Amino acid sequence: MKKIFLFLIIFLFFIFFTREIIVSIRKSITCDETVHITAGYYYVKKGDFFLNYEHPPFSKTLSGIFISWIDIFMPEEIYNGLRINEWELGKAFFYLNRDKVDKILFWSRFPMILLGILLGFFIYKWSKDLYGEFAGLFSLFIFTFCPNFLAHSCLVTTDVPFTLFFIMTLYFLFKFCETDNKKFLIFSGFSFGLSLSTKFTGIILMPFILFILIFIEIKDNFREKMKLYRNDFLIYLFLIPFLILLFSYGFFGFKNFIFGIKRIIFETTERGHMSYLNGKFSEKGWLYYFIFAFFYKTPIPLIILIFISIFLSLKIDKKERFLITPAIIYFIFSSLSKKQIGIRYILPFYALVYIFVGRLFIHHQKLKIKKEIKILILFFLITWFSFVSFKIHPHYIAYFNQIAGGPQNGWKYLIDSNVDWGQDLKELKKYLQKEGNPELMLNYFGSIFPETYGLIYEPFLYPYFIANIPEKNYHFNSPFPEKEYLAISVNHLCGLLIEFILNPEIFDFLKKKEPKAKVGYSIYVYDITEDVEAREKMANLLEIYGFKKQAERQRKIVEKLKKSYLK
């Protein structure tokens, strides 16, 4: 039996690894990766922790180690000139190395996949310790097939690495409380240090969670136990994590941690971030944002399994407090934050829930139906969940369940990193080649130059061009193209970022049209070759916002099309 379980565990990890490698190869650079990969490279090469100081360095440094062997071209004067603006530096970093961009991206993402596998292991291990071998295997299955973890486990961001170290910290603390073995407290402190070194959520939220868990565990003899363990807690849960944090900054770069913590507190409590929910924008967010996000972005069979696992036994076992308490605190904390831009912000909550779902295997007897029917229900839900997971491959970022109308309609309810994070430039190029390389008008949401992937295009109310490049320097398509497509990112279609420059509703005319293609569900492509109505609206918009040459080209095409219809 042990050999069968071992085979199934390896098999699940193999499927996960294979799918993540495919995603890593097929998907282009996402928004945050532009900065994270660049920063990680220079952490390793120069020890310059000023870059992207809004996030601690660990996951970026790990990524940088894996690409440090690649011969990357970046003139010193360009680096020094752009260092103050991490986003422009990132654009230059990838554009100047566009001949090796796929190599850089693959190897920078590779260690993130390994961290994702390690997260899966600890989800399996904790569930197994609580509920048994079958439960551990089931929790691992849920994790390895979850579209949300498959979306983010291969990206060079802080979300999955932090989730890993968050789970490790709690798991080892749980083991310490169970066994009173100090080695687990040391492991917990080490993991806590890594979480602090990965995401500022670690230092803002995790000390509070750890204090609550320790207090609950020792409250019956609080004074006596605090006196007994005080020095251990100070050394292993304070001193060791702090030393690891210092080490992650190379000691001398620690001042950037102070800069970063100030910025992230300001963003989450005061400034906020433009959020989108159910067709509306807000800079302050909503208390119920992540409730809606959960019900839109979680596969329906998994929602059913979660609710069954809760209602089978409403009584929470003492050991389950280490899952439930941090899960609730984390969800509330995320809901109170003004930075609500993606389901990725509650991945630690998901990981804890996936472990908790393993309780189905010890409480199933409370479901008063025949054993055969229980097996049939479980088989049906597993099959449904597996089908949903494979169907969305490799477009996991854009996954939405049928409550939101599937990935075809999810943009009506959530945008930003829930659907469009700039990940489909390579897919767009591949699609255009399949279509015979028509001329392209482009409005792209992303943090790299599309030229990095060899795209030639005329910008159409493209925010970056509006803010930085005069119309006279634009590339213009042919006066009368034989075939011309308009490609627009879903985020811009909905008005994200546009609201700072233009009217966020200017693309409503496109929402009413059926696109020729939805590339990765994040870039909508319209065939405007003979679309008089679309070209007239485009010409009017370009005229209103001062792009006279572009407007003139569109009007001449419209005039020619109308004449051809009269013949």
Residue 457 DSSP one-character state: -
Whole-angstrom CA distances from 501 to 255, 445, 457, 466, 543 are 35, 14, 21, 8, 15
31 pLDDT higher than 80: yes
What's the confidence (pLDDT) of residue 152? 98
What's the confidence (pLDDT) of residue 222? 61
What's the confidence (pLDDT) of residue 224? 72
pLDDT digit string, tens, across residues 198-238: 998 877 777 888 878 777 776 666 667 667 778 888 898 89
371 plus 487 within the same structural domain:
no
- Contact (Cβ atoms closer than 8 angstroms) between residue 225 and residue 218: yes
User: Is pLDDT larger for residue 364 or for residue 535?
Assistant: 535
Strand-strand pairing, 439-443 and 517-519: unpaired
187 plus 311 within the same structural domain:
yes
Domain-located, residue 180: yes
CA pseudo-torsion sign 17, 23, 28, 32:
negative
Distance from C-alpha of 231 to C-alpha of 558, rounded to nearest angstrom: 78
Domain-located, residue 402: no
Least Cα distance to 33 among 189, 122, 169, 154 occurs for: 154
User: Residue 252: pLDDT band by 50, 70, 90 thresholds?
Assistant: confident
Domain-located, residue 284: yes
pLDDT digit string, tens, across residues 324-355: 999 999 999 999 988 899 999 999 999 999 99
368 plus 486 within the same structural domain:
no
| Mean pLDDT of the 408-431 span | 97
| Mean pLDDT of the 157-181 span | 94
pLDDT digit string, tens, across residues 539-566: 999 999 999 999 999 999 999 998 887 6
pLDDT digit string, tens, across residues 392-401: 999 999 999 9
446 pLDDT higher than 80: yes
Domain-located, residue 419: no
360 plus 275 within the same structural domain:
yes
360 plus 446 within the same structural domain:
no
What's the confidence (pLDDT) of residue 197? 95
372 plus 440 within the same structural domain:
no
Question: What is the amino acid identity at position 198?
Answer: T
Residue with tokens 């060791």: 240
| Mean pLDDT of the 59-87 span | 96
**Contacts of residue 534, Cβ cutoff 8 Å, sequence gap at least 6:** 486, 509, 510, 513, 526, 528
What's the confidence (pLDDT) of residue 503? 77
What's the confidence (pLDDT) of residue 21? 98
User: Residue 283: pLDDT band by 50, 70, 90 thresholds?
Assistant: confident
Domain-located, residue 413: no
pLDDT digit string, tens, across residues 89-140: 999 999 999 999 999 999 999 999 999 999 999 999 999 999 999 999 999 9
429 plus 351 within the same structural domain:
no
Is the N-terminal amide bond of 111 cis, ω within 30° of 0? Answer: no
80 pLDDT higher than 90: yes
Which of 373, 390, 407 is where one domain is finished?
390
User: Residue 260: pLDDT band by 50, 70, 90 thresholds?
Assistant: confident
- Extract the tokens encoding 44: 């390793």
463 plus 333 within the same structural domain:
no
Q: What letters, b where the CB count within 10 A reaches 16 and e where it falls short, cover 161-178?
A: bbbbbbbbbbbbbbbbbe
366 plus 487 within the same structural domain:
no
Q: Which domain holds residue 17?
A: 2-390
What's the confidence (pLDDT) of residue 180? 86
| Mean pLDDT of the 447-463 span | 95
369 plus 428 within the same structural domain:
no
437 plus 374 within the same structural domain:
no
Domain-located, residue 398: no
Which of 371, 390, 409 is where one domain is finished?
390
Question: What is the amino acid identity at position 486?
Answer: L
Residue 281's beta-bridge partner residues? Answer: 276
**Contacts of residue 76, Cβ cutoff 8 Å, sequence gap at least 6:** none
H-only helix segments in 268-346: 289-297, 300-311, 321-336
Q: What letters, b where the CB count within 10 A reaches 16 and e where it falls short, cover 124-139?
A: bbbbbbbbeeebbbbb
Q: What percent of the chain has pLDDT over 70?
A: 96
Distance from C-alpha of 221 to C-alpha of 423, rounded to nearest angstrom: 53
Q: For the chain, how are helix, strand and coil distributed in percent, rounded to 5?
A: 70, 5, 25
Which of 369, 390, 411 is where one domain is finished?
390
Q: Domain count for the chain, please give it.
A: 2
What's the confidence (pLDDT) of residue 368? 72
Domain-located, residue 293: yes
267 pLDDT higher than 90: no
374 plus 464 within the same structural domain:
no
What's the confidence (pLDDT) of residue 233? 84
What's the confidence (pLDDT) of residue 515? 97
- Extract the tokens encoding 435: 């279509």
Domain-located, residue 404: no
513 pLDDT higher than 90: yes
